[in-house]
Amino acid sequence: MEDFTDRIIDLVGPSRVPNRAPIDWDAVEAKVGTSLPRDYKRLLSEYNQLAWGIFWVFNPRDEGITFSNPLEATESTKRVIESLCETKRDEEILNDISDLRGKPLVSISPPLTFYPSVPGLLRWGKDANGGDYFWVVEGPADDWPIVYRTEAGEWWDEHAVSMSEYLYRLHTEGPLCDSCPEMDEGFPEFDEMSS
């Protein structure tokens, strides 16, 4: 999948936080237990934080603020989803991994599995509407597709693109699917949220 990091930098400009702490990607990947996509590492190394419109990408610099790595974010989401499975019917609803039109996803199938299971979902971001963004961990990290889950989990969508391409296209072309959120004018276009 193509790395759109340079296009994002061209679009939003270079970092405005000159003394941002470096990220020890070896330590982060050791915590997560797998390599992470290069575009994710490049983009988060380039900017202090990454809040773009209604989107927030989890960053190791966020330790204490939010999740310090995708595995922590995934474990939190898994606990929430599992807590909603009180009955067999709840489990069936949560395992209905289909898009807005009812078409099952190709990249992940029921039962819903989270990384470290492979294939499994590894959460990398969220949006202000409560949506969650995942990679489907299977094969080389740079080939992981993107999966989007709406706030209540009633719809899912998938995109065979890199995280950077997904974010770039979303901000230059608009929603990439029927269930994807639209940009909200009430949010800053791009914010590194320097402290």
- Cα–Cα nearest to 164, from 3, 1, 36: 3
Q: How confident is the model at residue 43 (pLDDT cuts 50, 70, 90)?
A: very high
Say whether pLDDT at 93 is over 70.
no
Domain 5-173 coded CATH 3.40.1580: yes
Supply the pLDDT for residue 188. 47
For residue range 71-87, list pLDDT tens digits in order.
Answer: 888 888 788 777 766 76
Query: DSSP 3-state assignment of 90?
Result: helix
For residue range 112-157, list pLDDT tens digits in order.
Answer: 788 999 999 999 998 888 888 999 999 999 999 998 887 666 677 8
For residue range 145-162, list pLDDT tens digits in order.
Answer: 998 887 666 677 888 999
